[in-house]
């Protein structure tokens, strides 16, 4: 089956400064890995268009979009303590959204999966505010576009930070189903178990907050006990993934203990639903961990040969089991 990678050089022109963790080097390291391993030859490379203005403004008000565009065209500057705008930011951000829209089209029309290797990331972006390195909420724009195409969608956010922007945007809607597994306490401070949605969205927002130190077996347990059953119950047409790789044990901005293989295992479990999977690059700030984790995802998607593995029998922590029990009770999971 064809696997698509959506990428454009504009994503490197979002300049944040040499010492900023979300810098162009993140993407450069991934691209070098793809070249070195000859992975480009095994995928369909898509050069995305800019997102249509009408789609962008379904999530972000016109005034906010103009604010970002004008600041970028004026040369940019520090937006807040974490988020930087440069002269290339607006173009990179609208093309990032376009990259995901293109992949959604391929998923709907040809039942194909893919990954958008984009920056800036998106899942912290609020409708009227950039934050947490994010400018436009690209995964939300993709989900809204899919809904317009009569698609029922799951957004699974495995970034180590809670996707507060995505949650806020869809908190009162039942399409998409939003599921986030993340570290707590940690930026941005949202994502408690009791944040379950409101009005039409009640029950369609599932947060899985875990303490630092969680390992591969803990995530595998949560996948089996919570995430897989809920996706089966929801029965989506399309699975969108906010694919941040900052849960890796080498990541400098968080405290999880995942290996790159955790992302392979989660991807393999998502594949069992037999639906197109579209991934959007979110966080991940150790370059080696980032490129290795994406390579593991590509192995799971059968783009690259999978390395033989010895099965491990580590058990999840009791705290993980306790969290799972609470979530099952809250969301009525058998």
Q: What are phi and psi of 220, to 5 degrees?
A: -60, -40
CA-to-CA distance for 74 and 67, rounded, in angstroms? 11
The Cα 27–Cα 4 span in angstroms is 17
Q: What is the average per-residue pLDDT within 247-272? A: 98
**pLDDT at residue number 314:** 87
Supply the pLDDT for residue 290.
Answer: 98
- State the average pLDDT over residues 223-235: 98
How many angstroms separate the first and last alpha carbons of the chain?
A: 34
Neighbour tally for 168: CB within 10 Å: 17
Residue 1: band (very low, low, confident or very high) from pLDDT cuts 50, 70, 90:
confident
pLDDT tens per residue across span 299-323: 999 998 877 776 677 899 999 999 9
The pLDDT, as a whole number, for residue 311 is 64
- pLDDT (0 to 100) of residue 304: 84
68 beta partners: none
Q: Which residues pair with 205 in a beta bridge?
A: 178
H or E segment to which residue 243 belongs:
strand 238-243
Cα 302 to Cα 113, 272, 318: the distances in Å are 11, 13, 33
Q: What local confidence, expressed as pLDDT, does residue 155 receive? A: 99
The per-residue pLDDT for 83 is: 98
Full set of structural domains in the chain with CATH: 3-331 (3.40.800.20)
Return the active site residues.
124
Tell me what percent of the residues of the chain surpass a pLDDT of 90: 96
Q: Does the pLDDT of residue 231 top 90, yes or no?
A: yes
Residue length of the chain = 334
Let me know if 44 is exposed, middle or buried by CB neighbors in 10 A (0-12, 13-18, 19+). middle
pLDDT score for 49: 94
Q: Reply yes or no: is the peptide bond before residue 188 cis, omega within 30 of 0.
A: yes
Torsion of CA 167, 168, 171, 174, to 10 degrees: -60
For every residue of 285-319, DSSP letters joined together read --HHHHHHHHHHHHHHTTSSPPPP-----PPPPHH
Determine contact, residues 142/281, Cβ cutoff 8 Å: no
- pLDDT higher than threshold 70 for residue 289: yes
pLDDT at 107 over 80: yes
Buried b (16+ CB within 10 A) or exposed e, 47-85: ebebbeeebbbbbbeeebbebbbebbeeebeebeebbbb
- C-alpha closest to that of 152 among 194, 110, 104: 104
- The mean per-residue pLDDT over the stretch 242-248 comes to 99
Please give the C-alpha separations between residue 193 and each of 107, 261, 329, in angstroms, as whole numbers: 31, 26, 11
Mean pLDDT of the region 151-177 = 99
């Amino acid at each position: 089956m064809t696997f698509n990678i959506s990428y454009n050089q504009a994503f490197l022109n979002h300049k944040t400064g040499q010492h900023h963790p979300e810098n162009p080097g993140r993407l450069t390291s991934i691209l070098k890995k793809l070249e070195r391993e000859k992975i480009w030859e095994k995928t369909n490379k898509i050069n995305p268009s800019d997102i249509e203005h009408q789609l962008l403004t379904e999530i972000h008000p016109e005034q906010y979009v103009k604010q970002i565009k004008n600041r970028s065209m004026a040369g940019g500057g520090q937006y807040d303590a974490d988020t930087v705008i440069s002269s290339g930011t607006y173009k990179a951000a609208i093309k990032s959204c376009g990259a995901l829209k293109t992949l959604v089209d391929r998923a709907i029309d040809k039942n194909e999966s893919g990954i958008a290797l984009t920056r800036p990331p998106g899942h912290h972006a609020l409708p009227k505010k950039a934050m947490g390195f994010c400018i436009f909420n690209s995964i939300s724009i993709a989900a809204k576009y899919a809904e317009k195409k009569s698609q029922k969608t799951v957004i699974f956010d495995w970034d180590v930070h809670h996707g507060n922007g995505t949650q806020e945007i869809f908190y009162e809607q039942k399409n998409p189903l939003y599921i986030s597994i993340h570290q707590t306490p940690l930026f941005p401070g949202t994502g408690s178990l009791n944040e379950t949605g409101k009005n039409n969205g009640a029950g369609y927002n599932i947060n899985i907050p875990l303490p630092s130190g969680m390992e591969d077996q803990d995530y595998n347990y949560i996948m089996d006990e919570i995430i897989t059953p809920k996706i089966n119950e929801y029965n989506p047409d399309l699975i969108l993934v906010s694919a941040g790789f900052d849960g890796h044990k080498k990541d400098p901005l968080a405290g999880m203990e995942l290996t790159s293989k955790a992302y392979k295992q989660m991807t393999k479990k998502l594949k069992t639903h037999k639906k197109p999977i579209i991934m959007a690059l979110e966080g991940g700030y150790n370059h080696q961990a980032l490129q290795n984790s994406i390579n593991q995802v590509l192995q799971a998607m059968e783009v690259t040969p999978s390395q033989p593995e010895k099965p491990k029998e580590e058990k999840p922590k009791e705290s993980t089991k306790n969290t799972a029990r609470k979530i099952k009770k809250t969301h009525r999971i058998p």
